[in-house]
Amino acid sequence: MTDLIFNVFILLTIIPCFWVALSSNIVHAAFSLLITLFGIAGLYVLLGADFIGVIQVIVYIGGILVLIIFGVMMTQRGKLLPLSIQLPGKLFGAVLTGVILAALLLSATRTLWPVAAVLGEPQLTSAAIGDLLLGKYLIPFEIASVLLLAALIGAVLIARRSVRGE
């Protein structure tokens, strides 16, 4: 039963990706990205990372994706841009991606991962994550907060300058 759900979510994640990569209409790409992210959230839940899944939905989709869509809408005036570069550029990209994909798949399947013998029952993880965040990983947590603050200020500054046409 879990295999089925698992395969559903895999398809849910992979298929829209092709739209994101290839579609000539940027709006379609944005919305297909939405679906991929939902797929990934589902996979997280399947992997017992319920807290991460919820975060994925709220932050990633609710925050970042909305932002991107907002960006797309802002810049969507006038003619539709030819979305990808001329042929030779694409061909080279495809070949490169293929090679790297092959290498990754090879390594994923071939190596003997030290998989745990028995998979523990997935329990609620948010309490444990909370402890970890404010215990062992306190410093990264603080640094992340500083990073976000910096990004915030940076974004405001850049946006403000552009608006005033400097």
Q: Taking CB under 8 A as the criterion, which residues in 75-104 touch other proteins?
A: 75, 81-85, 89-90, 92-94, 96-101, 103-104
Which residues between 112 and 151 bind other proteins (CB under 8 A)? 113-117, 119-120, 125, 128-129, 132-133, 137, 140, 144, 147-148, 150-151
Widest pairwise Cα distance in the chain: 61
Q: For other proteins, how many residues bind (rule: CB under 8 A)?
A: 90
Q: Provide CB contacts within 8 A for 56, sequence distance 6+.
A: 37, 40, 41, 44
Half-sphere exposure of 134 (CA within 13 A, CB side): 5
Q: Is the distance from CB of 29 to CB of 80 less than 8 angstroms?
A: no
Q: Which of 7, 8, 138, 142 binds other proteins (CB under 8 A)?
A: 7
Compute the least distance from the CB of residue 94 to other proteins, in Å. Answer: 7
Smallest distance from other proteins to CB 143, Å: 9
Report angle CA 13, 18, 19 to the nearest 5 degrees.
100
Which residues from 19-58 bind other proteins, rule CB under 8 A?
20-21, 26, 29-30, 33, 36-37, 40, 43-44, 46-49, 51-52, 55-56
35: Cα separation from own chain's centroid: 11
State yes or no: residue 12 binds other proteins (CB under 8 A). Answer: no
Q: How far is CA 29 from CA 17, 20, 65, 69, 82, in A?
A: 8, 4, 11, 10, 14
Residue of 8, 134, 138, 158 that binds other proteins (CB under 8 A): 158
